[in-house]
Every structure is written in C-alpha cells, then in structure tokens.
Chain A
Amino acid sequence: MLHLEAVTRQFGGLKALGNVNLDVAKGRIVGLIGPNGAGKTTLINCISGLDHPTSGVIQFEGTPIHNAEPHHITRLGIARTYQNIRLFGRMTALENLLIGQHTRGHGSLLGAVMFSRAFRAEEQGMRERARELLNRFGLLPVANTHAASLPYGDQRRLELARAIATQPKLLQLDEPTAGMNPVETHALGEAILTLRDEGLSILVVEHDMAFIHQVCDEIYVLNFGQIIAHGTPTEIKSDPAVIEAYLGSSDDGAA
C-alpha cells in the first residue's frame, strides 16, 4: 500500500536519503533500522509530508504523495508518532484525542453557533471515541490532565493513541520505546501486534533489537541513506553488512 521508489533527500551537500526503494504491504509491520544519522527520521518526515524528497516517488494506495501537504496525507490515512514527543502540551489528554479526530469530523463553526443537531451528535461521537481510546491505553484516569504534566510513559502512549484517533491505515512509529525499560517495551510490542491484527499496517523505526524481533514481519536496513539490506528479522540478524554497520559482532547482541 505504501510504495517508495528512488526517493532521495539532499540537505546541501549531504545526501540523507539516496535512491530508497521501500514497500509496506497491507497488514504488515515493517521495521526500519540503521545507525544514527542513517536517514530514518528523514524518511518518515518525507512520508508524512513534513519534508519532501528532492527526487523520487512516494505512493500511498496508488496516490503519489511526495509533494502533498501533511494534512492531506493524514486524510489519506497515514499517521505517525515522533522521536521526541510532540503532544499538545497545554491541552488535556482528551482534547489531544479530539484533535486526532479532526479529519474525521465535518462540524463547521456555523453548526457550533447554531447548536445544530448534527454538530452535537458529532461532538458526542468524538468524545465517546476519545474515551474508548483512552480506556484502551489505560489513560482514562488522566483524561483531564494536561498532556505536558503526564509522566513520560503516559505521554508516549497518549501520542500513540492520538495517532490512532486519526483512523489511519498506515501508522509510522519513530523510536516508540525510547526511554522505556525492557518490561515496558515488551508490553508496547504486544499492543502494536494487536493493532496489526486489527488490520493496520505499521512502519516502525527502532534501535531496540529485541523489540524489532518481537513485532516485525520484515525489516529494511538503512545506512548513510541507502538501503543495505531487506529481509525477515532472522535474515537481517545474520546479514554481515548489517552486523558490520549496525549491530556489531553478535557476541552480546542487544538487550
């Protein structure tokens, strides 16, 4: 459903992405790993419209999106989380989820002014859905807390919930487990697998190899902006190029 062809992103003299070809099929969890500075975040930025490739094609369900605006891409069904959390800090957890549903609503200002029935019904529906999501991620108790004052772990989960609130078909996660301990990481992995089972496709960037092995169906390895390997987790684990560039000698793997 997501198809990248010869995507290149140049920053001045630096080629952050060079001729990247990548596919995410429906209902798959695709991992994207690679050394720091390899271009993973840049790739995600390009897919979500915050950045645009210098050349190449990005298609989502057949529609080219490499020059599209971010809100347009979200409407098509791509959502993401960020490497550094970007919640709406001075809004409550619930409000964050209402904003997540922005594209799925139609209510106009006029409707709000007229107290129209459609408006009220839609608001009601959005709130219900927001509560469902909060409940699902164990955030119901903090529904009315400002996002900025939530503990780190809650913020991560809220960000995930907010992405899901946009009702995406493809979810992009940029280092979702950063700052989590192995136990918490494992729990997150379970949650992500459930999402996949509900039909979501997922592109996940991670450094935690245990997590990658836990969730990924296939993995792309990026190094200096180039895809150097693509395969199943087992294939990747023993790929000498990947070991050389990324994993290091396999004596103690990763935690």
Chain B
Amino acid sequence: MDALTQALVDILRPLGITEPVLQFMLVNAILGISIYLTLYTGMFSLANAGFMAIGAYAGVAATQFLGMPLWLGLIIGMAVAGIISLPIGLPVLRLKDIYLAIATIGFGEVVIILLLNFDEIISSIATALQGERVRIRLLEGARGIKGIPKSTETWMLFAFLALLMFLLWRLHKSRLGRAMAAIREDERAAANMGINVVYVKNVVFVMSAVVAASAGVFSAHLTRIISPGAYGFDKAVDILSFAVLGGTSTWVGPIVGGLVMGALPEVLRFLNDLRGVFIGLILLGVILFLPGGLINPAGVRLLLRRARRALRRRADAAERSSHAAP
C-alpha cells in the first residue's frame, strides 16, 4: 500500500503534489461525499464544516485525552457528530433552500462559538459546583489543541474513501437512494408516494454529518493542531465548492471536485501573487463553461448531441429543400 502511495506521489510530484497535499485532497474527497449526500436529497445544508469540527474535537479528545488509537477516535468522532446531528436535523430540515443554508451556517457559527468558550463554560459550571474559582483548560479555545500526533496515513484515507464509494454505489441502488432523489425532485409529491420525507431527510443529514466528522478526525491527525477558526463559514463554502466544481449529477463529481480543489492551490503555487486570481477564474470558468461541473455524463451527452445536431441540421436542410421543390 505504501509503495503504491509512493508511486502515485512520484507521478504527481511534478505537479507540486506531495504526500501531505495528497492526504488533504483525499480528506476533501470525503467532504465532497458528505455534501453530496445532502445535495442529492435536495437539501442545501452547509452544516458540514460544523460537523467536521465536532468530529475533529471528539476524535482528538479520544486519542489525545483518553489515549485511544486512531480508529477508535474515528468511530467516536463519527458517533458524536451523528448524535448531535439528530436533534439539529429534526427542526432545521423543515427549512428549504437558502433558509436551510443560513440556518446551517448559523449552526456552524454556534459550534465554533461553543468550542471557543467550552473551557469557560465548563469552568464556570465547576466554579458554581465547587464554590471557588476553578479554571479548566481542555479544548484551549482559540489557542487550539496542539501536539496531536500525525497518525493518519495515506492508505487509511484511500481505504476509507473506497469504503464510502462502495456504500454510495449501493445506496443509489437501494430504496433509500431512490427516495432521496424523489425528495429532491418534489418533496410533496414524494410524500404522497408514501415516502417518509422527514425520516429520510434526517437519515441523510445524519449520514452527511457522520461522513464530515470522519474527515474532521482524519484531518485533525494530519494538521497536528485544531482550533475552532478553521471550521467556519469559509470552510463551509469551500466544501460547497467541491460539489459545484465537480458537479452533482453523479457521486463521482464531488469527489473529483474535492480532489481538484485540494490540489489547485499547490499546483498553482508557481503563479505566486496571481494564484488567488486564477483559482477564482477557474471556479468561475468551470461553472460558466462546463454546465454540471467537471464530471457530468449529461454534459458529455450534450456534446455528443451537439455533434449529432450538426449532422441533423444538414438532414433538415435537405428535407426542407425537398419540401420546397413541389
């Protein structure tokens, strides 16, 4: 596995992609799946960054404070995010569209504020209980938790991503997957088809949260430090851009979008000051000129159709002239 990774990195190296870059690309791909799940169900949720934060903190708490191995931290991170996502999802998923987006952004901001003040909250509770001033430092607020071992390995990311892809593929073949698509198309009609819309949406929301949390655990064990600021509005928008860049017509899209968005800043390093301008241009260019994103079977079909139409037009012209003849 390591040899494979090494070979892959060697191939990518000329592009400026080193192993850490590859690792973050893979984390992004996982995040791409997380947002794909909700978007595929027609839910414009931007809560992924918040759940990533929850996953990261819960996972690190397990590995760092309780000395658990990474895999256990992963499970705990995912479980905590899943548990928190339930009560959030129930009320919030009644909202639609931009309202859902804002509510979930709000959720993300609240998560950050709570993480920032976690120690203070705990301290004041402890103070109230003990009757004297207690200072507890656990999550360290804005200072962040430092010295997290870099225990995420590239092969783990590959393996986990492969597992998620397999699950996604099966999901699409299942009743649940079809119900998700139906809800995206028309929620009321889906309800009238006997689909429990609230249930399906919540299941998907939890799945999305759990996947985002896994990305959080993995990336926390890559960056060595986690602080709340890294999971804010910007991150939420970033994750959304994976889906848009890659396209959401198939689940491959957001994965590719995540990989590409992870690679771009590094691949474009040689541009120096112009790097930001180019990333903006690329994002805009893809949206404008590649409808449906980078990965879009319909787009390919469209291209084919255009070609065929050119032929067709010739046939039309022929038919027209034969009409005009009599």
Contacts and interface: CB of A to CB of B under 8 A. Distances in A.
B197 interface: yes
A71 B198 CA distance: 10
Interface in A92-119: 95, 98-100, 102-103, 105, 107-109, 111-113, 119
Interface in B169-196: 170-171, 173-179, 181-182, 185-186, 188-196
Contacts of B185: 87-91
Contacts of A87: 185-186, 189
A226 interface: no
Is chain B's interface secondary structure helix, strand, loop, or mixed overall? helix
A246 interface: no
A110 B195 CA distance: 18
Contacts of B166: 113
B192 A113 contact: no
Contact of B170 (A82, A113, A166): A113
Contacts of A99: 178-179, 181-182, 190, 193, 195
A82 B186 CA distance: 12
Contacts, number: 94
Interface residues of B, number: 26
B318 interface: no
Given A105-B175, A113-B167, A166 B194 contact: yes
A166 B170 CA distance: 24
A119 B171 CA distance: 12
A162 interface: yes
Interface stretch (A6-14, A73-81, A199-207, A231-239): A73-81
Given A99-B179, A102-B175, A107-B175, A80 B192 contact: yes
A87 B309 CA distance: 28
A144 to B, nearest CB: 13
A102 B185 CA distance: 15
Interface string B152-171: 00000000000000110011
Contacts of A132: none
Interface size grouping (class) on chain A:
20 to 34
Contacts of B171: 109, 112
Scoring B182, B188, B190, B193 by chain A CB atoms within 10 A of each residue's CB, the highest score goes to B193
A88 B186 contact: yes
B170 to A, nearest CB: 4
A21 B177 CA distance: 40
A50 interface: yes
A70 interface: yes
Scoring A82, A91, A102, A108 by chain B CB atoms within 10 A of each residue's CB, the highest score goes to A102
A100 B189 CA distance: 10
A107 B170 CA distance: 12
Interface in A30-82: 48-50, 69-71, 74-75, 79-80, 82
B196 A69 contact: yes
A109 B194 contact: no
Contacts of B197: 70-71
B174 A70 contact: no
B186 A70 contact: no
Interface of B: 166-167, 170-171, 173-179, 181-182, 185-186, 188-198
